[in-house]
Amino acid sequence: MSQQSTRKHVTNTELLAMKERGEKIVSLTAYDASFAHVLDNAGVDMILVGDSLGMVIQGQTSTIPVTIEEMAYHSKIVSRGIERALLVTDMPFMSYPDPHSAVENAAILMQQGHAEMVKLEGGQNVLDSVEHIVSQGIPICGHLGLLPQSVNQLGGYKVQGKEEAQANIIIEDAKCLEQAGASAIVVECIPSELARKITQAVSIPIIGIGAGVDCDGQVLVSYDMLDITFGKRPKFSKNFMLETGNISGAVSAYVNAVKNKTFPASEHSF
């Protein structure tokens, strides 16, 4: 029996306990069973089936074309490679336009995709959907800052919250998501100081991607940190393959770097 399989399965309440004791939460994306097994065995706490699969798996230019059926399929096969990590699955574009649709689609990801938590983008504009999903016993992870599903409205992939007014809105969004019952929040491409304020302002875990080292945890697209994404790698990512030369070693190096607070460094932050 592997060392990882002797450890208890991570739950949303365990993520909260990790925040409370100051232990960093490690997350990466996976889209199939084999990658999920490698991540799980290396000690990744939370595996995200991201709608980023639209770009890194399907070759799309954004996440917008991804469907609920595709998310459920990839979530299902990822679940087969996991023993310990918490499985979180993205709700794709237009799968939560209203509370009724949100619950129906969240249920698909739970029942067909075997997700243990679902993630959706937005703040105060999605609170009704968040509350309705949570009321049905489905854990929610929020997503603030850069919202890939809103990239056309945002005018591209740009750092969010640089101005005080926008920063204050993001902080308020985080507080509202917590009050609505969210179990965690991902914050993407925001200044490190804003991420630190959000992390201190709420009691639920804040998972950063391009948001500095002071978040409760970190998430990256696995293909970015393995340097196999075609195109430009984001500034906030790091090529962990350079240190080890193999996938399992790179994932272990990432886990250790997050746990030891050596990643992200200043060059990966805004």
Residue 267, classified by CB atoms within 10 Å of its CB into exposed (0-12), middle (13-18) or buried (19+), is exposed
Quote the pLDDT of residue 104. Answer: 98
Nearest Cα residue to 94 out of 150, 144, 132: 150
50 has pLDDT over 70: yes
pTM of the model: 0.95
25 has pLDDT over 50: yes
67 has pLDDT over 50: yes
Q: Which of 23, 116, 188, 193 is catalytic?
A: 188
147 has pLDDT over 80: yes
Mean pLDDT value of segment 188-198: 97
Q: Report pLDDT digits (tens) over 68-98.
A: 999 999 999 999 999 999 999 999 999 999 9
Mean pLDDT value of segment 97-103: 97
pLDDT interval class at 153 (50, 70, 90)? confident
185, 177 Cβ separation under 8 angstroms: yes
109 has pLDDT over 80: yes
Q: Which residues pair with 119 in a beta bridge?
A: 90, 141
Q: What is the percent of the chain where pLDDT is above 70?
A: 97
188 given a catalytic annotation: yes
| Average confidence score pLDDT of the chain | 94
CATH number at residue 208: 3.20.20.60
In Å, what is the CA distance from 4 to each residue of 55, 162, 213?
31, 40, 25
Domain count, the chain: 1
1 has pLDDT over 70: no
Distance (Å, whole) CA 91 – CA 217: 21
**Domain range enclosing 226:** 4-268
pLDDT interval class at 234 (50, 70, 90)? confident
Quote the pLDDT of residue 5. Answer: 45
pLDDT interval class at 154 (50, 70, 90)? low
